[in-house]
Amino acid sequence: MAELRDRMTRDLELRNLAASTRRAYLQCCSNFVRYHMKPPAKLGESAIKEYLQRLLRIGAGPETLKMNVAGLKFLYGVTLNRPKVVERIPWPKVAHTRPDILSGTEVLALLKAIDSMVPAMVLTTAYAAGLRVSEACRLKAEDIDSKRGLIHVRLGKGGKDRYVMLSTTLLTLLRKYWAQTRPAGWLFPGYKGQPLSPDAVRKGLERATKALKLKKRITAHTLRHSFATHLLEAGTDIRVIQVLLGHASIRTTARYSQVSAKVIGSTKSPLDLLGTKKGAALG
C-alpha cells in the first residue's frame, strides 16, 4: 500500500493540486482501504458505493461525501488507470449556501484581534487584495510592486499568475512589518525556511473570533467573500472583481459577490412608489 500511496502522491503533485486537496484525497482513500481491508486494485464499483453509503449512515455531510468521491475518482481514474470503475459513481448534490459577510467594522475588529503579528499581516493582506490565505502565505518581498501599486500573485489556484491592487494602507503596514522582522525569502516565513502554514493563520483567526464572540460563521475565506462584497457595494464592476479574484468564469464571481443584504435593504419596494411621480412609470 505504501507504493500505491507514493504513486498517488506523485500523480497529485504532477497536477499541481493544492497541498490541502492532496492531503484530503490521500486521507479519503486511506479510510476507504482501512474500511475494506483490501487493496483498491481488488475492489470495484460496488465496494465504493458500499463505503459511500456507510459515510452517509454515520452522518457525513454533502461536502465530506463530495471530497471522498473526488478522491476515489482520482485514485481509480488516474493512479490505477481504471476510470470505468468510477464513471457511474455520482457526484453528490451540494447545497450552495450564502456565506456570512463581515461588515467593515467587523473586519477591522477581527484583524486587530489576531494575537500574533505574522498571521495578522497575512490576513490583512488577504483581505486588502482578495487573496486566498494560501496565496498570501506564499508571497515574497519582490511580489510587492510599490511603484506600480500591484501585488504579483504567483501560481494561484489552477497554477495561474495574476496581479491585484496594492492598498496604500497595506503598503504602510507591510513596511512597518518589514522594518520589525526583516524576513528572508518568504514575506511571511514559517518553519524551517517554509512559508507560514495556512493552518497557523486559521488557528489565529479562530482565537480572534472566539475572543470577539462573533456569531457569524467565520473562516479565512470569509475575508475573501467580504472583500468581493465590499467592492461590489462600493460600485466596482463585477468583471474587475472577477480579475482580482482570479476567476476564469464570471459565474464563479457571481457566487462570491451575490447582491448583498445592504443593497437589498436599500432597494425601494414598488409599494413605496405607488401614488408618487416615480410610480407613474408603473402605469
Catalytic hit among 73, 138, 225, 247: 247
Catalytic annotation on 132?
A: yes
Share of the chain above pLDDT 90, in %: 47
User: By the 8 A CB rule, do 98 and 228 touch?
Assistant: no
Ramachandran region, residue 247 (left: φ > 0; alpha: ψ -120 to 50; beta: rest):
beta
For 246-282, the DSSP string reads: T-SSHHHHHHHTPPPHHHHHHSPPHHHHTTSSGGGGG
Catalytic hit among 157, 202, 207, 262: 157
- pLDDT tens readout for residues 220-252: 889 988 888 888 888 788 888 888 888 877 777
The reported pLDDT for the residue numbered 76 is 95
- More confident of the two residues 216 and 255: 216
| Strand 150-153 relative to strand 162-165, pairing | antiparallel
Catalytic hit among 5, 36, 66, 221: 221
Angle between helices 104-113 and 220-233 (to 10 degrees): 150
Catalytic hit among 76, 127, 177, 256: 256
Q: What mean pLDDT is predicted for residues 134-144?
A: 92
The reported pLDDT for the residue numbered 282 is 59
> Is the pLDDT reported for residue 283 higher than 60?
no
For 129-170, the DSSP string reads: HT--HHHHHT-BGGGEETTTTEEEE-S-GGG--EEEE--HHH
Catalytic annotation on 84?
A: no
> Is the pLDDT reported for residue 261 higher than 60?
no
Share of the chain above pLDDT 70, in %: 88
CA distances from 3 to 20, 42, 100, 262 (A): 21, 15, 43, 54
- The separation between CA 189 and the C-alpha centre of its own chain, rounded to angstroms, equals 20
Catalytic annotation on 157?
A: yes
One-letter amino acid for residue 46 of the chain: S
Catalytic hit among 22, 162, 224, 225: 224
- pLDDT tens readout for residues 38-58: 999 999 999 999 999 999 999
Catalytic hit among 132, 138, 162, 230: 132
Q: Is the dihedral of CA 42, 44, 47, 48 positive or negative?
A: positive
> Is the pLDDT reported for residue 259 higher than 60?
no
User: By the 8 A CB rule, do 39 and 33 touch?
Assistant: yes
Confidence of residue 160 (pLDDT cuts 50, 70, 90): confident
Domain boundaries, the chain: 2-86, 104-263
Q: How far apart are CA 121 and CA 154, in angstroms?
A: 18
Domain 104-263 has CATH 1.10.443.10: yes
The reported pLDDT for the residue numbered 159 is 64
Pick 2-86's CATH classification: 1.10.150.130, 1.20.210.10, 1.10.240.10, 1.10.10.10. 1.10.150.130
3-state SS track over 230-248: HHHHCCCCHHHHHHHHCCC
Catalytic annotation on 224?
A: yes
> Is the pLDDT reported for residue 256 higher than 80?
no
Confidence of residue 193 (pLDDT cuts 50, 70, 90): confident
Q: What mean pLDDT is predicted for residues 126-155?
A: 90
- pLDDT tens readout for residues 268-278: 666 666 667 77
Q: How far apart are CA 122 and CA 84, in angstroms?
A: 43
The reported pLDDT for the residue numbered 14 is 87
**What pTM value is reported for the model?**
0.68
* Residue 153 burial class via C-beta count within 10 angstroms: exposed 0-12, middle 13-18, buried 19 and up: buried
